[in-house]
């Protein structure tokens, strides 16, 4: 126990967030852990937030900052859609996020990944890290858990994946980050956006693959002790 324990740390989404394009749309993914210092305040949060029917954003960093930015952008996009007379494009949504992030860079601490589908450009992913840089990418990773995924994506990412390949890649990646990042955890949520619409999926912690040094979960040690095979109790 640290003598200088942070007694009033802000709510932060340590987080792992991912956005990936595929041939027909995008897949967004995120973990579900929100922490206050070392305590997990919410183990089932939803970090993939809707901006419009066809554009969603993955939030990381300060929970408060990312919520307020997405709330403002949802509001502006709503007005913009009415004026325009048709669904807003992903680029416009991303730019609005950028304006807020850039012009308030000294006060905000949030990294965002905007993903969606529109009829002009198809599926698009925009990364907007701290500082408010806007960068269009075939895939984007963010949050503290993303540190563990750079090597993984360098190796595993391919152009022109199918919808299922893309979603599997995202689930695998978030699950790998959860295994090593203390600030990420819980369930994996994905949102798939394409011309047909939006699909939300939910992969609970016990349905994720097991990685190195992780073991198959048991109900209790007692169940293991009552099985006559290999000796579970050893000195």
Which residues are known to be catalytic?
15
- How far apart are CB 14 and another protein at their closest, in Å? 7
Q: Which residues lie across from 210 on neighbouring strands?
A: none
- How far apart are CB 179 and another protein at their closest, in Å? 7
32 φ/ψ angles, rounded to the nearest 5 degrees:
-135, 25
Among 1, 82, 107, 227, binds another protein (CB under 8 A): 1
- How far apart are CB 220 and another protein at their closest, in Å? 6
Q: Spell out the residues 6+ positions from residue 129 whose beta carbon is closer than 8 angstroms to its own.
A: 111, 135, 142
Q: 101 to 120, contacts with another protein by CB under 8 A?
A: none
Distance between CA atoms of 115 and 19, rounded to whole angstroms? 7
Which is nearer to another protein, 33 or 98 (by Cβ)? 33
- How far apart are CB 119 and another protein at their closest, in Å? 24
Distance between CA atoms of 13 and 66, rounded to whole angstroms? 9
Distance between CA atoms of 118 and 177, rounded to whole angstroms? 30
Which is nearer to another protein, 9 or 160 (by Cβ)? 9
Q: Spell out the residues 6+ positions from residue 36 whose beta carbon is closer than 8 angstroms to its own.
A: 9, 10, 11, 12
Residues that bind another protein (CB under 8 A): 1-3, 13-14, 32-35, 38-40, 42-47, 49-50, 63, 67, 70-71, 74, 144, 148, 179-183, 185-187, 200, 202, 204-206, 212-222, 224, 232-235
């Amino acid at each position: 126990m640290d003598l200088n324990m942070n007694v009033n740390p802000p709510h932060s989404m340590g987080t792992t967030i991912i956005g990936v394009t595929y041939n027909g749309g995008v897949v967004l993914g995120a973990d579900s852990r929100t922490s206050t210092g070392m305590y997990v305040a919410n183990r089932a949060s939803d970090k993939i937030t809707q901006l419009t029917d066809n554009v969603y954003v993955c939030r990381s960093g300060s929970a408060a900052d990312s919520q307020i930015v997405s709330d403002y952008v949802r509001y502006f996009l709503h007005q913009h859609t009415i004026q325009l007379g048709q669904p807003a494009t992903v680029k416009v949504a991303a730019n609005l996020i950028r304006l807020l992030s850039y012009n308030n860079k000294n006060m905000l601490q949030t990294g965002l990944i905007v993903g969606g589908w529109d009829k002009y450009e198809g599926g698009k992913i925009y990364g907007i890290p701290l500082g408010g840089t806007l960068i269009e990418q075939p895939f984007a990773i963010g949050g503290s858990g993303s540190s563990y995924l750079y090597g993984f994506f360098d190796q595993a990412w391919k152009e022109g994946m199918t919808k299922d390949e893309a979603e599997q890649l995202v689930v695998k990646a978030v699950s790998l980050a959860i295994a090593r990042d203390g600030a990420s955890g819980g369930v994996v949520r994905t949102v798939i956006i394409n011309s047909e619409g939006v699909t939300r999926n939910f992969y609970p912690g016990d349905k994720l693959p097991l990685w190195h040094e992780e073991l198959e979960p048991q109900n209790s040690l007692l169940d293991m002790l009552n099985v006559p095979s290999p000796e579970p109790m050893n000195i």
